[in-house]
Amino acid sequence: MPFKHHFKEKESDVTIISESKQAIIRAKNVFYQQRSLLEKYITTHREFENSFIPIKAHTDIKIVNYMISAANVCNVGPMAAVAGALADFMLEAMKTKEDPNFEAAKVALVENGGEIAIDSEIPMKIALFAGNNPLNLNLGFLIKKVDCPIGVGTSSATIGHAISFGQADAVTIFARNATLADAAATKIGNLVKGNDIEKSIKKALDAIDDMEDIYGGFVSRKNEVGYTGKIPQLIKITGDKKKLLKKKFEDIVQGDFEIYK
């Protein structure tokens, strides 16, 4: 049975899942290293933190460059990719084979504030949380080995603390990594607005189709849903909905795991 480790650091709310305790420790160490680098960079580059549009910059800090690159692809501010970028770097630490004394994790999943990076040899169930949408807690995705590695990003105007200029209950994007999925979810979520719900969803789906390195996406608003591209298998999430709703993102990854503290 894989281990599940959860921790919080300031704005970050992180869950790591793996069969390897060593991989979990490595991922957590990388999180603190990369977050520290970001915090130091932001103190002298306020435009990086505050901009809602792409910025032009190049540094020696790899994670900063990743975020800037994804932001430019998606026409959003670089901080729109911060949670996904941290998840990607943590996942990379869990899978790297450069250290001869470290065996790469077979099960590697990092969820950071709803943004997810996965590379797992066993299927993983991901719940879709869509605020007050009737779909809330009914739907999820089954991420199989054939889907991996994959990044999952979600943006919502009705739940969570992230800023959205749209009206979607949930926009979930599947991409080659979580950095891009995170930024893309923000971009697409901003497009879902207006009185015509069906038209707003179609506009979002068309935009997803036009984006490179995006596998597919799922959009829900009110009583309407739509999806496009190659998305993982849709599944029904079962269980006590009141308890699930109370926990919200804490149980976005469904399954039985041994808690690792």
Chain segment 93-109, per-residue pLDDT in tens: 999 877 777 889 999 99
What is the model's pLDDT at position 231? 94
Statement: residue 124 has pLDDT above 70: yes
Using pLDDT thresholds of 50, 70 and 90, give the confidence band for residue 26.
very high
Model pTM score: 0.90
Cα angle 233-21-125, degrees, rounded to a multiple of 5: 15
Contacts of 225 (CB under 8 A, 6+ apart): 135, 201, 218, 219
Place of tokens 């990076």: 117
Token readout for 217 is 């996406």
Tell me the pLDDT band of 127, cut-offs 50, 70 and 90: confident
8 A C-beta contact, residue 126 and residue 254: yes
Q: Which of 13-27, 55-69, 96-110, 147-161 has the lowest mean pLDDT?
A: 147-161
Give the chain's mean pLDDT: 87
What is the C-alpha to C-alpha distance for residues 75 and 64, in angstroms, rounded to an integer? 16
Average pLDDT over residues 55-65: 92
Residue 21 has pLDDT above 80, yes or no: yes
pLDDT band at 248 (very low <50, low <70, confident <90, very high): very low
Q: Please report the pLDDT score of residue 160 as a whole number.
A: 57
Place of tokens 């990092």: 110
Judge whether residue 37 has pLDDT over 60: yes
Number of domains in the chain: 1
Q: Which of the four pLDDT bands, split at 50, 70 and 90, describes residue 222?
A: confident
For the beta carbon of residue 72, count every other beta carbon within 10 angstroms: 15
Averaged over 25-33, what is the pLDDT? 97
What is the rounded distance in angstroms from the CA atom of residue 126 to the CA atom of residue 251?
9
pLDDT, average across residues 198-214: 94
Residues 6 or more apart whose Cβ sits within 8 Å of residue 10 = none
Distance CA 92, CA 108 (A): 9
Domain with 197, as residue range(s), is 3-259
Q: Looking at residue 221, which CATH number applies to its domain?
A: 3.10.520.10
Backbone angles phi, psi at 21, to 5 degrees: -65, -35
pLDDT at residue number 159:
62
Rounded to 5°, the CA angle 199-204-208 comes to 145
- Lowest-pLDDT range, 22-31, 45-54, 166-175, 206-215? 166-175
Q: What is the rounded average pLDDT of the residues 2-16? A: 92
